[in-house]
Amino acid sequence: MSNRRKPPLVNMYRTEFLHSRTWFARRDRWFAEQVARGIPLACAGCGRAATKRQLELHHLDYTGVVLEQGRWRALEAHDDLVPMHPYCHELLHRLIDRDTVLARNRTRRAASDQALQRLRRKLQPVEGSPS
């Protein structure tokens, strides 16, 4: 598949899905699940603890986002979604969208994983380094 051709759903994903009740409900379920798993809420980029209101969810995979007969369905697996501050999330997208190496990755998950590692190195101070 050519990198130049964007999947047709990406634009509708941004303009419609992320504003849909389907997504807000999925988001609520994700946070409930995270709490149920006993995982403290924190930003995947900077690693700082954060509240649900402070966090956005980044999609590692869009395949769970389905438009079916005019209705959105949010079938993302729990692990398809990653909590991030809006600021850190924005940085992640800039890394993914503007980096030619990351753009050549086969999947969004692989590109996201690499970008997240870079972001963490940048945003999370190494233990023992002066603060």
- Under rule CB under 5 A, residue 108 binds Zn ion: no
Q: What gap in Å lies between CA 119 and CA 112, rounded to an integer?
A: 10
The minimum distance between CB 128 and Zn ion, in angstroms, equals: 21
- Under rule CB under 5 A, residue 95 binds Zn ion: no
- In the complex, residue closest to Zn ion by CB: 43
Q: In angstroms, what CA-CA distances link 74 with 24, 64, 70?
A: 10, 6, 13
The minimum distance between CB 81 and Zn ion, in angstroms, equals: 9
Q: What gap in Å lies between CA 47 and CA 111, rounded to an integer?
A: 19
- Under rule CB under 5 A, residue 44 binds Zn ion: no
- Of the pair 17, 45, the CB lying nearest Zn ion is at 45
- Positive or negative: CA dihedral 36, 50, 66, 96: negative
The minimum distance between CB 47 and Zn ion, in angstroms, equals: 7
